[in-house]
Structure 1
Amino acid sequence: MQTSWLTAEQYAHLSTQVQGAFIAPLPAFQILSISGPDNLKYLQGQSTCDLTQLTADNFLRGAHCDAKGKMWSIFHVFSHADSLHVIAFRDELVASTAQWQKFGVFSKVSFDATEGRYAVFGLGGVGSEQLVTSLGFSLPATDGQLSRHDDATLLRLAADHYLLVMPQHKAQQVMQRPLPFAAPNLWLKAHILQGFAYLEQPLIGELVPQMLNLQAINGISFTKGCYVGQETVARLKYRGGNKRAAYILTADTDEVPVAGSDIELQLENNWRRVGQVINAVNINNQLWLIALLPNDITPADILRLKSEQSIVLQQLPLPYSLT
């Protein structure tokens, strides 16, 4: 892995064996800066979250949808000086940026991909509070809150689960410190276990927000004004119709299925395709994934990953309620 702030040698030395608190470079997550006098108004009409609720001390989780309510991206957004900074996985950020730029010509708004300016880290693990304070940050009080220090911003996604954004030259300095550095997979495993997902290329433009539980993790406002895709999103809430949700699964295997891989349900002596992989990570031959499945699935149902090995999957509880 080679970026302007993380060398191949540094990346090669990152480990999944870190115990306790860790900090993981996340070069696959990037920042889009949206500026201009209409930036807040423009993004308000392009996202499921309510930008009027954004303050200097919080961030918002949201989705960007097309006119049919299918998601281009799931993102986190916070204010930075006179700009809005959007954090997302690179595939979905590229997709959303292209759409935002296309329609942004009618507003006083500009977009800067910042690829060479900002770096993203993931923090987590038991005892992460001490790691946060050792980096100079005060602890965000609750999920959805942020802390700022020396032009860097720390976002608390959940307990012991953070995103850290900073200028790349400061990230290079951080990489020289004696810190518990970990491979991105360790943070991604924690992300999955929190019931959070992001969109990889095969699934961009395919799913509505409720399919990935955004209504349960403060990713949708049902009281804000109009936005692109709102009709579909609101109809699914008030009239029903969404029959799928995201669930956490695990298995003993060395495989790492790609996004979109089929998941099958056993029905007597037969198997039927019922879902697909959203994100997956494998650490020490233990597979962890978040998957799209029927929302009436139960832990008693027998599921498998469709592959040559026919890997049986175990369902784990979500850390939040879907009702």
Structure 2
Amino acid sequence: MHTSWLTAEQYAVLSSQPQAAFISPLPAFDCLSIDGVDNRKYLQGQTTCDVNSLTDSTFLHGAHCDAKGKMWSQFYLLADAEKLIAIAFRDEMAASYAQWKKFGVFSKVSFEPGQSHFAVFGISGDGAGQLVQQLGFNPDNSNLTPGQLYRQNAYTLLVLAPDHFLLLTSLDAGKALMQQSLPFAAPTAWLAQHIKHGFSYLEQALIGELVPQMLNLQALNAISFTKGCYMGQETVARLKYRGGNKRAAYILSAQTDELPVAGSAIEIQLGENWRRTGQVVNAANINNQLWLIAVLPNDTTAADTLRLSSDSAPLLHIEPLPYLLN
């Protein structure tokens, strides 16, 4: 765990089993500031989202692909005055930063890692809307629309789902927030909720391995099919219009004490035998309840018998996605 701004003492007391709404420090999520007069134009040609549609009250979920359509990262992008700020898991943020910086020399654009400037938190759980209000935000709880962004002093709130949020703060404000009497929880608690909402991020083992549709990004409004050319667009568009994609992200659960790493194999039973059918993307285990988001063939159904490829080989159950695939 990358804990540059979170002390060991603070981390040690975080609950892994919150009973209601909670806020989790997410020190493994990094930020990148993108500045310069060409910053929007440059990212428009690099990402799956329509950067030109970004406003002061919205953010974008998007992906950054290589020329073959395989993802370096998926991220959340917002505007901060003339700058753009991308938020992503540290592994994928580092991968995209290296690529953007390499090719950015041909544009009027600059990049600054945000570890020394920002802190990232996650908010989720039953009553998360009320916790958001406790932090000083006043959104209408009946209209917490995914993609909306709210600002309150040094806080910026990103609505991922009506009860699931990211909170970006200045580093000083984040440290001060940790001193308040709030229902703090471990990052694992937020990750479990992230998985239950059908979201994911890329850990090192899967960077450059998956196309956006394999993680359901078309269903999460993270791909624009009307914006024009961008890196990897030919592959991403072909999968939509020619139906070439045969895999999707599934939510799986199991009763086990295991915590598989990204890329771990998932097997399907075929008669008396088992065959590899997919792989783990993200995993969280809380009190022996395992939650996974995994890439499987998109014709996998609840009637299929799945297991984790491991010594104990626990059976996996398919959970419903909270959104429709298209």
When the two structures are superposed, what TM-score results if normalisation uses the length of structure 2?
Answer: 0.98
How many Å apart are 1:133 and its aligned residue?
Answer: 1.0
Partner residue of 1:296?
A: 299
Partner residue of 2:193?
A: 190
Partner residue of 2:86?
A: 86
Residues 1:170 and 2:173 aligned together: yes
What secondary structure does 2:268 align onto? strand
Partner residue of 2:262?
A: 259
Partner residue of 2:36?
A: 36
In structure 1, what is the Cα distance between the partners aligned to 2:99 and 2:172? 30
Aligned partner (choices 179, 184, 190) of residue 182 of structure 2? 179
Partner residue of 1:235?
A: 238
**Cα deviation 1:42-95 (Å, max 9, x = unaligned):** 000000000111000000000000000000000000001110000000000000
How many Å apart are 1:4 and its aligned residue?
Answer: 4.0
How many Å apart are 1:138 and its aligned residue?
Answer: 2.2
Structure 2 counterparts to residues 85-234 of structure 1, below 5 A: 85-139=85-139, 141-234=144-237
In structure 1, what is the Cα distance between the partners aligned to 2:17 and 2:269? 35
Partner residue of 1:64?
A: 64
Counterpart residue type for residue 293 of structure 1: L
Cα pair 2:4 2:27 within 8 Å, conserved = no
**Cα deviation 1:239-288 (Å, max 9, x = unaligned):** 11110000000000000000000000000100010000000000000100
**Cα deviation 1:169-196 (Å, max 9, x = unaligned):** 1111111100000000110001001111
Counterpart residue type for residue 6 of structure 1: L
Cα pair 2:14 2:185 within 8 Å, conserved = yes
What secondary structure does 1:216 align onto? coil
Cα pair 2:256 2:288 within 8 Å, conserved = yes
Evaluate the alpha carbon distance shift between residue 270 and residue 3 of structure 1 in structure 2; reply closer, same or farther with a 3 A threshold. Answer: closer
Counterpart residue type for residue 169 of structure 1: D
In structure 1, what is the Cα distance between the partners aligned to 2:17 and 2:220? 29
Counterpart residue type for residue 112 of structure 1: E
Cα pair 2:62 2:74 within 8 Å, conserved = yes
**Cα deviation 1:280-307 (Å, max 9, x = unaligned):** 0000001000000000000010000000
In structure 2, what is the Cα distance between the partners aligned to 1:131 and 1:7? 23
Counterpart residue type for residue 178 of structure 1: S
Aligned partner (choices 238, 246, 250) of residue 247 of structure 1? 250
How many Å apart are 1:134 and its aligned residue?
Answer: 1.1
In structure 2, what is the Cα distance between the partners aligned to 1:2 and 1:10? 13
In structure 1, what is the Cα distance between the partners aligned to 2:201 and 2:133? 28
Aligned partner (choices 269, 272, 278) of residue 269 of structure 1? 272
Counterpart residue type for residue 166 of structure 2: L
How many Å apart are 1:237 and its aligned residue?
Answer: 0.4
Q: Which runs of 5+ in 1 are unaligned?
A: none
Cα pair 1:2 1:8 within 8 Å, conserved = no
Cα pair 1:16 1:183 within 8 Å, conserved = yes
Number of residue equivalences: 323
How many Å apart are 1:135 and its aligned residue?
Answer: 0.8
What secondary structure does 1:179 align onto? coil
When the two structures are superposed, what TM-score results if normalisation uses the length of structure 1?
Answer: 0.98
Partner residue of 2:325?
A: 322
What secondary structure does 1:144 align onto? coil
Counterpart residue type for residue 199 of structure 1: L
In structure 2, what is the Cα distance between the partners aligned to 1:232 and 1:9? 47
How many Å apart are 1:2 and its aligned residue?
Answer: 6.7
Instruction: Among all aligned residue pairs of Structure 1 and Structure 2, give the percentage whose two residues are the same amino acid.
Output: 67
In structure 2, what is the Cα distance between the partners aligned to 1:128 and 1:260? 31
Give every structure 1 segment of 4 or more consecutive aligned residues whose post-TM-superposition deviation is greater than 3 Å: 1-4
Partner residue of 1:53?
A: 53
